[in-house]
Amino acid sequence: MTEAQGKVLILGADGFIGRHLAFGLRAVGLEVVASARRCARLDRMGFETLEADLASPEAATVAFWQGRLEGVSHVVNAAGVLTASERVSGAVHVQAPAAVYEALGKTGQRETGRGVLISAVGIDDSETGFARHRREGEAVALAHGIMPLRAGLVLGETSYGGSSLARALAALPFVMPVVGAGEQPFNPVHAADLTKTVAHFLTHPAEGVQEIGGPEVVTQTEMLTGLRRWLGLGPVPVLRLPVWLCRAMGRVGDAMRLGPISVTAVTQLEAGVLAEPSEAVRALPERPRGFSDFINARPAGTQDLWHARLYLMRPVLRLVLAVLWSVSGLIGLFLPTAEFLPLIAGSGVPDWLAIAFARLGGVADLLIAGALLRGWRPRSMAVVQAAMVLGYTVAFSVLAPVLWLLPLGGLLKNLPVLALIALLYILEDER
């Protein structure tokens, strides 16, 4: 890529595509202002940052942005949410970007056309909230001279969301699941090639909506098979999941807030993600590579294999721990007192207090189970779980130390439970 000049604001800079854009545009000489809801890690990566929650009401006002865009000459909008409420989706895709474009125009720094919106293919034929708000966001961008660039499936050296799910499905040990027949077409584009294209259009803007995808078309089955080979794993049978079952799993994923496991993602996979590169993209001085070319450009490392195999352990761990807390809560609420009071006989704790603690503990356990099933603040809840297990362990170690010596483990089982909670805490951190 040739050296570029100017200062570019990147919205959604902490996302999968956003980070590639931030690093890639910085590498070609642009000053980067990385904007995201949380900027601590972008700060540590050496970027000038602008912390902003696009879903907040203040981010939809021109006044919020006007004093923060000093010297900014370009904008790249890589912000987006696949599954969110109407309010949040509208704010992130439409209202907040409109305020940014308007504020940037008022600074006098931006020339018409010196901006790119990263959009998505397939939104014209879909009536999901994501697609509808994406279309509205494109209209707003065009009205402000910002070029929408619809990208197909984006893969890269790292992964997130849908690309992480694809790796996880490819790495399963006994079967390789696909949605429906698995013949849906994809022409993935590498994130580095997408970044080169964005850099080109910032200095050589094209008119209207553009579309980018790789030159190689593969089916869903072929793509997952390619990823499996790249990970160095042997072949396994393809499991063709009925679409109705995938949609049911997507609804569970929506309820548990499991990101790419969603009805919207299933809808996209059911249709495939096939981009038709526009004329301006076909005329690029450096064309995007095909799937086979970039997947074979570097070897998979241990981190790739571990991530692929652990990715689906996050929902599994959530469910396992939710069952554990549910059963623990029900036992605490309904176990007859004659069954547990003898365990702490001689501890000096009055029976009424022991019963009260058991019942209150049962309520607390059920609340934790509910939070896990809903995906509510999962990392904070991991800390709460660890504190509860440690509290129970210390309390019963004092009241009934003999529980450490029970034949089937007793309190000893709390140690692997704490390890599982620590693992979930790690897996819930994707950024």
**pLDDT tens, residue by residue, 43-63:** 999 999 999 999 999 999 999
Percentage of the chain surpassing pLDDT 70?
Answer: 97
Which comes out higher in pLDDT, residue 323 or 1? 323
Sign of the torsion formed by the C-alpha atoms of 18, 58, 56 and 425: positive
The total domain count for the chain is: 2
Of the ranges 4-13, 34-43, 94-103, 111-120, which one carries the lowest mean pLDDT score? 111-120
The answer to whether residue 49 sits within a structural domain is yes
pLDDT-wise least confident of 137-146, 354-363, 400-409:
400-409
Q: What are phi and psi of 240, to 5 degrees?
A: -90, 105
Distance CA 371, CA 157 (A): 33
Q: How far apart (Å, rounded) are the C-alpha atoms in residues 30 and 23? A: 10
Q: Which of 339, 363, 367, 341 is nearest to 354 (CA)?
A: 341
> What pLDDT was estimated at residue 141?
96
For residue 8, what are its two tokens? 């570019």
As a whole number, mean pLDDT of residues 188-199 equals: 96
Highest mean pLDDT among 54-63, 64-73, 122-131, 332-341: 54-63
CA distance 44 to 14: 12
Do the domain assignments include residue 220? no
Query: Which of 102, 130, 151 is the last residue before a domain boundary?
Result: 151
297: phi then psi, degrees, rounded to nearest 5? -80, -20
> Residue 185 — φ and ψ, nearest 5°?
-85, 145
The one-letter amino acid at 332: G
Residues with Cβ within 8 Å of residue 396, at least 6 apart in sequence? 344, 403, 411
* Model pLDDT, residue 266: 83
CA-based end-to-end distance of the chain: 27
Buried b (16+ CB within 10 A) or exposed e, 235-261: eeeeebeebeebbebbebbbebebbbb
**Of the candidates 326, 114, 293, the residue with the CA atom closest to the CA atom of residue 205:** 114
Give the CATH number, domain containing residue 43: 3.40.50.720
Domain for residue 185, yes or no?
A: no
The answer to whether residue 248 is domain-embedded is: no
> Which of the 8 DSSP states describes residue 285?
S
- Gap between the Cα atoms of 170 and 236, Å rounded: 9
Considering the domain boundaries, does residue 309 fall inside one? no
Q: Which domain holds residue 78?
A: 1-151
Closest Cα to residue 310, out of 168, 176, 169? 168
How high is the pLDDT of residue 388? Answer: 95
d(CA 335, CA 327): 11
- Residue 78 lies inside a defined structural domain of this protein: yes
Residue 414 resides in a domain? yes
C-alpha angle 263/265/269, rounded to 5°? 115
Boundary of a domain, candidates 127, 151, 175? 151
Which long-range CB contacts under 8 A does 390-393 form with residues at least 24 apart?
A: 390/418, 392/361
- Name the token pair of 244: 């109705």
Backbone angles phi, psi at 74, to 5 degrees: -135, 160
Q: Please check the confidence at residue 389 and state whether its pLDDT lies above 50.
A: yes
Q: Answer whether residue 400 is part of any domain.
A: yes
pLDDT band at 3 (very low <50, low <70, confident <90, very high): low
Nearest to 9 by CA among 103, 89, 86, 88: 103
In the beta sheet, which residues pair with residue 7?
Answer: 31
State the average pLDDT for the chain.
91
Q: What is the helix (H) or strand (E) element at residue 415, kind and residue range? A: helix 414-427
Q: Measured between alpha carbons, how far is 250 from 229 in angstroms, rounded to an integer?
A: 27
The C-alpha atoms of residue 74 and residue 100 are separated, in whole angstroms, by 11
With 90 as the cut, is the pLDDT of residue 107 above it?
no
Over 80: is that where the pLDDT of 225 sits? yes
Give the other-Cβ count within 10 Å of 86's Cβ.
10
Domain edge (last residue) among 151, 180, 215: 151
pLDDT at 112 over 50: no
